[in-house]
C-alpha cells in the first residue's frame, strides 16, 4: 500500500492525501519533461558543418516541422567541457553565450541576424539563426582569387549602407558590437546584409564598471581602433565605426588595410602594446598629433607611441593606388578612420553622407545588377552529427542513445 501523508493546505478544510513517492521526488517530473521535449535533430535536418571558432561550431540545417517549414537555418552549438562528446564537467554558460542570447532575443532589425530559437539539450546550448548563404569575407575571396575582380560600386555601396543601418540600430539601442569584420557580416541569397556574431556585444548605457575591466581585449586586431590600441579604459561606439572604415577599405582593395602582427598576452592581467599594428596604421594615416587629437597624451600607451618614428599621411595615395577615384567615397573613408574618436563620424550621420546620395544609389539587394554569381557556402557533410557520437534522439517519448554514430569514429 502506498504511504500517504496529511498535507495541511488541502481545500475545504480537508487534508489532502498525496503519494509521498510522487510528491517528494523530482524523478516523475523529469521523466514527463524529457518525454515532452523535442530534440534538435527532430526539429532540424542537419545538412553539414559550416565553421568552428572559440565558441564552438556552426551547422547548416533545414526545418523538419510544420512551424519551421522547409527553410534553411544556421545552428550555433556552444562548446562544453566534454570527452567523447559526453559532458564530463559542467562549468555553466559562458559570458559570451549569455550576452549573445540575451541581446539577440531583444534585437530585431532587417540588418541584424535574426534569432529563431534557443535549445538546451544534454547541457549543450544551440542558438538557431536564419541562414545566410554568404559573408563579406567569402565575397572578398571570390573577387581576389584567382584573379583580381573589382567589386561593383553599387554592390559595395549597398553593402556599406546596410551595415551602417544595422549598426545605427545597435547604437541607438545602446549596444556596442565590438567585433565587426568581414567574416561577421552575413549576406543572404536575396542580397540582404546581416550583422552577425554578437558574442562580444555589450550594452553601454550606465555600465556598473568600465568596459575595459570586463573585457580587456576586444575587436579582432586588424579592425581595432587606435584608442583601444593605446589602452583606453573607456570607449564609445566610435570603435565600431573604425572597424566599418577598415571593412570599406578591404572591400575596395580586396585585402585588409591594417594587417599587423598581434603580440600575444603573457598573462591575463597585462595587455601588451601592439606596436606592429600601430605602425601599420601610422604608415597609411600618418602620425597623429595633439592638435588633431587633443586627448592623445592621456592614453596609457602614449609613451610607447611617442617613441615611434613619425609618418606622413598616405591615405589618398593608398586610395588612388587601389583604383579609387570617387572623392566622396574617400571622404567617407577618412571620416570613418578619423584618429580622434570624438571627431569620428557616427553611424546615423554616415547614412546621410553624400557618397550614398549620388548615383548609383544603394539598393536593398546588394547583388542587383551585378554580373557576378557567388558560390554557395561550403559545408562538410562528413561532420554533420550535431549531437555527437553518443547522441540521443527520441522515439515515442523514450530516449534512444547511440542513434547517431559519430562519422569520425569510422575513420
Catalytic residues: 179
Look at the block and give the residue holding cell 570624438. 342
330 touches 304 (CB < 8 A): no
In whole angstroms, what is the distance from residue 259 CA to residue 256 CA? 6
Altogether, the residues listed in the chain come to a count of 411
Secondary structure (DSSP) of 14-70: PPEEEEHHHHS-SHHHHHHHHHHPPPHHHHEEEEEEEEE-SSEEEEEEEE-STTTTT
Q: Which residues contact 67 (CB under 8 A, 6 or more apart)?
A: none
Cα separation of 28 and 19, whole Å?
12
**Helix or strand run (H / E) with residue 161:** helix 153-172
Tell me the sheet residues that pair with 10.
Answer: none
User: Do 155 and 367 contact (CB within 8 A), yes or no?
Assistant: yes
In the DSSP assignment, the letter for residue 7 is: E
Kind of pairing between the strands at 72-78 and 124-130: antiparallel
- 411 contacts: CB under 8 Å, gap ≥ 6: none
Per the DSSP assignment, residues forming a β-bridge with 18 are 5
Kindly report whether the peptide bond that precedes residue 360 is cis, defined as omega within 30 degrees of 0. yes
* Beta-sheet strands, E only, within 155-258: 175-176, 185-187, 193-195, 202-203
Cα 391-396-397 angle, rounded to 5 deg: 70
- State whether residue 187 is helix, strand or coil: strand
CA-to-CA distance for 280 and 258, rounded, in angstroms?
Answer: 5
> To which residue does cell 581576389 refer?
144
Residues 81 and 394: their CA atoms lie apart, in Å, by 24
End-to-end alpha carbon distance in the chain? 56
What is the distance between the alpha carbons of residues 264 and 274, in angstroms, rounded to a whole number? 9
Amino acid at each position: 500500500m502506498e504511504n500517504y501523508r496529511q498535507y495541511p493546505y488541502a481545500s475545504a478544510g480537508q487534508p489532502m492525501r498525496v503519494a509521498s513517492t510522487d510528491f517528494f521526488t523530482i524523478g516523475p517530473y523529469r521523466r514527463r519533461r524529457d518525454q515532452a521535449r523535442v530534440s534538435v535533430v527532430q526539429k532540424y535536418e542537419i545538412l553539414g558543418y559550416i565553421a568552428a571558432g572559440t565558441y564552438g561550431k556552426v551547422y547548416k540545417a533545414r526545418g523538419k516541422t510544420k512551424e519551421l517549414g522547409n527553410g534553411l537555418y544556421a545552428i550555433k552549438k556552444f562548446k562544453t567541457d566534454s570527452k567523447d562528446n559526453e559532458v564530463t564537467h559542467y562549468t555553466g554558460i559562458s559570458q559570451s553565450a549569455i550576452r549573445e542570447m540575451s541581446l539577440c532575443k531583444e534585437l530585431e532589425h532587417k540588418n541584424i541576424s535574426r534569432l529563431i530559437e534557443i535549445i538546451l539539450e544534454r547541457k549543450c546550448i544551440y542558438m538557431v539563426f536564419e541562414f545566410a548563404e554568404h559573408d563579406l569575407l567569402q565575397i572578398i575571396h571570390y573577387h581576389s582569387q584567382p584573379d583580381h575582380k573589382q567589386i561593383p560600386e553599387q554592390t559595395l555601396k549597398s553593402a556599406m549602407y546596410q551595415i551602417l543601418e544595422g549598426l545605427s540600430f545597435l547604437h541607438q539601442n545602446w549596444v556596442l558590437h565590438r567585433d565587426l569584420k568581414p567574416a561577421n557580416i552575413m549576406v543572404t541569397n536575396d542580397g540582404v546584409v546581416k550583422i552577425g556574431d554578437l558574442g562580444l556585444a555589450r550594452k553601454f548605457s550606465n555600465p556598473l564598471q568600465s568596459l575595459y575591466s570586463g573585457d580587456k581585449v576586444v575587436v579582432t586586431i586588424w579592425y581595432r581602433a587606435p584608442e583601444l590600441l593605446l589602452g583606453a579604459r573607456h570607449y564609445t561606439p566610435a570603435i565600431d565605426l573604425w572597424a566599418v572604415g577598415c571593412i570599406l577599405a578591404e572591400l575596395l582593395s580586396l585585402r585588409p588595410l591594417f594587417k599587423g602582427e598581434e603580440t600575444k598576452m603573457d598573462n591575463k592581467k597585462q595587455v601588451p602594446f601592439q606596436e606592429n599594428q600601430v605602425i601599420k596604421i601610422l604608415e597609411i594615416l600618418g602620425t597623429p598629433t595633439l592638435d588633431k587629437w587633443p586627448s592623445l597624451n592621456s592614453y596609457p600607451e602614449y609613451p610607447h607611441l611617442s617613441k615611434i618614428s613619425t609618418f606622413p599621411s598616405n591615405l589618398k595615395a593608398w586610395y588612388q593606388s587601389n583604383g579609387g577615384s570617387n572623392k566622396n567615397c574617400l571622404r567617407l573613408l577618412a571620416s570613418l578612420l578619423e584618429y580622434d574618436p570624438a571627431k569620428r563620424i557616427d553611424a546615423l550621420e554616415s547614412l546621410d553622407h553624400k557618397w550614398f546620395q549620388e548615383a548609383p544609389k544603394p539598393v536593398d539587394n546588394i547583388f542587383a545588377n551585378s554580373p557576378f554569381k557567388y558560390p554557395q557556402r561550403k559545408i562538410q557533410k562528413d561532420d554533420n552529427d550535431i549531437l555527437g557520437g553518443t547522441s540521443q534522439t527520441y522515439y515515442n517519448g523514450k530516449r534512444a542513445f547511440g542513434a547517431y554514430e559519430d562519422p569520425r569514429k569510422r575513420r
